[in-house]
Amino acid sequence: MILASIALSAVMEHTTSSIRHSAGPLLERNLPMLRHLGELGGSLQRYQQALEQLSAAPASHRHFLAQLPQLRAGLERDFLALRLGMGEQPALAAINASYWRLLAQGPALVTKLEQAGLNASSAELAAITAAFRIEAAQLRQRVAVLHESVQGAIYAGGASAEKDAMGMTRLVHLFDILALLTSGFLLYHVRARFRVEQQLEHAAGHDPLTGLAHRRSFEACLRSLPATPHAVVLGTIDRFSRIVGGLGHGFGDRMIVGLAGRIRQVAEASGGQVFRLDGANFAILYRWARDSAEFEAAISALRDEVRVPYSHQGHEIFTTLSLGAASYPEHGPQAEALLRNADAALQQARQAGGDTLVHYSEEINAQAGARLALEARLRHAVERHELELHYQPQQSLADGNLVGFEALVRWRRDGQLVPPDQFIALAEESGLIVELGNWVLEEACRQLHAWQAMGVAPMVAVNISPRQFAAPGFLPHIEALLATSGVNPAQLELEITESVVMEDAEGAIALLRRLRELGLTLAIDDFGTGYSSLAYLSRFPIHKLKIDQSFVRNMQGVAEQAAIVQATIGLGHSLGLTVIAEGVETEAQRALLSGWQCDQIQGYHYSRPLPALAASRFLHASDQRQAA
C-alpha cells in the first residue's frame, strides 16, 4: 500500500507537470492571442461595415471621413496588440502584409473623397472603395482563419489536459479501490488473528477432545469462587479401561466425547459446571451444599443419564459412574484440600465396586492413611518372611477323592493373619501384586516339589493376577521356575481370570499356548463374571473352567443362577474341559452339582484352606483312604 501511494504520487506529479506544460501556452499565449484576434476582427468588422455604408450611399462620405480616424486608430491599436502578443510568427506574416496594404489604400480613398465633394458617386471613387472593401474583407478572412487555428490549438490543449486529468482521476479511483481492498484484507486478517487468539485462549483453558474446561481451569475456578457453600464432585467412568482394551482407543475417544456431552447437558440443566480432568475422569462444580435437595436431585439425574447405554456402530455399552463429593467449607477451606478430599471419596467409591456416590468424611482419610501404612508394610512382607501359603483342597465328585489344592496367600503381621481382601486389592493397585505373585508361584513350586519327593503328586492351582499375567517377564519367570524347581509341569495349574484373557484376547491366546506347550495345566477362573465370547472361549488352549462362587451360592434360591451353573457345566463338557465349582459350603449344593455332572468342587463343605503342614496331613490321610 505504501508503494502504491508512492507510485500514485509520482504519476500525479508527472500528470500535473504534463497538464501544466500543455496548459502553459494556452494561458500565456493562445488565450491572449485569441482575445487580440477577436478584438482585431471586431475592428475590421466595423471598418468593413463603414465601407459597405459608403458603397451603398456615396453621399455619406462626410460621415465616413468623420469615422475614419477612429476606425483607423482602433484597427492600429488592435493590430499592434496582436503583434506584441504573437511576435514575429509566420502565421502573422499574411495578416501583416494585408494590413499594411489596407492602410496604404486609406490616404488615396480619403483624398478621392475630399476631391469628389458632392459628386461622390464617381466611377473612380467607386473603384477605390471596392478595392478597399476587398482588401478589408481579405484581411478579415485571414484574421478569421488565424482565429480558428488558435481556437483549435486551445481546444487541443484543453483536450490533452482533460485526458491527463481523466487519467489521473482513474488512477485515483484505482488507488481508492486498492485502498478499499487493502483495508478489507487488513480487516480480514485482524479478524482472523482475533479469532485465532480466541481459539488459543479457549484451547489454553479447555480439553481438546471434549471441549470441556480442563483441570487447570477447574482449579482456577475453585480458587476464584466466593466464600459461599458449594460442592465438588469428581467422577470416573467405571471399567473404561476394559472398554478401550476391547474396542480400541478410537472407540474410547468417541465414547468419551459422547458421554461428555450428555454429562454436560444434564449437569448444566441442574446448575452445574463440568470439567474434564484426564482420561475418563470428570469434575462437576455445584453451587449448593451437598446436603441440599437440589444437589441430591442433580446427582440422581446425572447417574440416570450415564446409565443410558452408549450406542455406536452396532456397539451398545452400558456405563456407570463412580462419584466422590466434598463440600466447601466443611471439607476444605482451600481448593487444594477440597480436591484432595473429593478424590479420596472417589477412590472409596471405586473400591466399593463403582456406580455409587461417596461423600467425603474424616474416616476416608483415616482409611487412606491406614492403606498407605499397610502398603508400606506389605512392601517388606516378603523380605520379613511374613507371607505364607494356605492350601484349600479340591474334591472329585466322581469318587470323592482329593484331586489337588488351590494355593492361597496369607499375610501374618504381628502374629495375626491379615484378611486377603485387605491386602490383595491393595497389592494389585500398587503394583506389588507382580512381586507377590512371583513369590506365590515360587513357594507353590517348592511345596509341590516337596510333596512329589514324598511320593504323592497332587495338583496345585495358583491364581495369576491381571498385572502378573500382563507383565513382560511373566513367561520367562515361569520357564526359569520350572527349570530350577524340578516339578512336574502337569501338576502345576495356573488360574487366569476371565476378564484378563478378554482384555487382549489374541495376545492372551498366544501366551496361553506358550504356557500349555510348557506342559502346564490352565484354567479360566471366576467363569461367568466377565464378558467372554464363546468364539474366543473355544480357541483358548485351556483344560478347566472354574464356576464363580457367586453363582454357586445362590443357585438353590435363584432359578436363573442354577440355569447358568448347569449351562456352564454343559458348555465345559462340550468343549472337552473339566469343570470345577468353588464356594461349595453345603451338602445340598454338593448334591446339586453332582447331579448336574460337575467334575470337581472346592469350598468349606470339603475343607477350609490349610497351612502347609496341615495340608500335608490332609494329603497323607486322603492318600491312605484311596489306598484302602
Q: Compute the distance between CA of residue 446 and CA of residue 487 in angstroms, rounded to an integer.
A: 8
Structure confidence by residue, pLDDT tens digits, 454-468: 888 899 999 998 889
Q: Compute the distance between CA of residue 211 and CA of residue 290 in angstroms, rounded to an integer.
A: 27
- At residue 404, the pLDDT reads 95
φ/ψ (deg, to 5) at 248: 100, 160
Question: Hey, which residues does 582 pair with through a beta bridge?
Answer: 602
The SS3 assignment for 380 reads coil
Report the amino acid identity of residue 581: A
Structure confidence by residue, pLDDT tens digits, 410-419: 999 888 888 8
- At residue 490, the pLDDT reads 94
φ/ψ (deg, to 5) at 495: -100, 120
Structure confidence by residue, pLDDT tens digits, 542-552: 999 999 888 89
Cell of residue 338, nine digits: 477440597
Q: Compute the distance between CA of residue 14 and CA of residue 9 in angstroms, rounded to an integer.
A: 9
- At residue 97, the pLDDT reads 65
Neighbours of 489 (CB within 10 A): 18
Percentage of residues of the chain with pLDDT beyond 70: 73
Question: Hey, which residues does 232 pair with through a beta bridge?
Answer: 285, 326
Q: Which long-range contacts (CB under 8 A, 24 or more apart) does 472-477 make?
A: 474/511, 475/511, 475/514, 475/515, 477/438, 477/441
The SS3 assignment for 383 reads coil
φ/ψ (deg, to 5) at 286: -110, 140
Structure confidence by residue, pLDDT tens digits, 422-471: 888 888 888 888 999 999 999 999 999 999 988 888 999 999 988 899 88
- Among candidate residues 115, 125, 99, 112, the one with its CA nearest the CA of residue 40: 99
- At residue 270, the pLDDT reads 86
Neighbours of 81 (CB within 10 A): 17
CA dihedral 147, 152, 153, 156 (to 10 degrees): 160
**Domain 215-360 - what CATH class?**
alpha beta
Per-residue pLDDT band for 23 (boundaries 50, 70, 90) equals: low
Report the amino acid identity of residue 130: A
Q: CATH number of 373-622: 3.40.50.2300, 3.20.20.450, 1.10.10.10, 2.60.40.420?
A: 3.20.20.450
How does DSSP assign 148-194, residue by residue? HHHHHHHHHHHHHHHHHHHHHHHHHHHHHHHHHHHHHHHHHHHHHHH
pLDDT tops 60 at residue 309: yes
Chain mean position to CA 88: 87
Question: Hey, which residues does 418 pair with through a beta bridge?
Answer: 411
Cell of residue 108, nine digits: 488615396
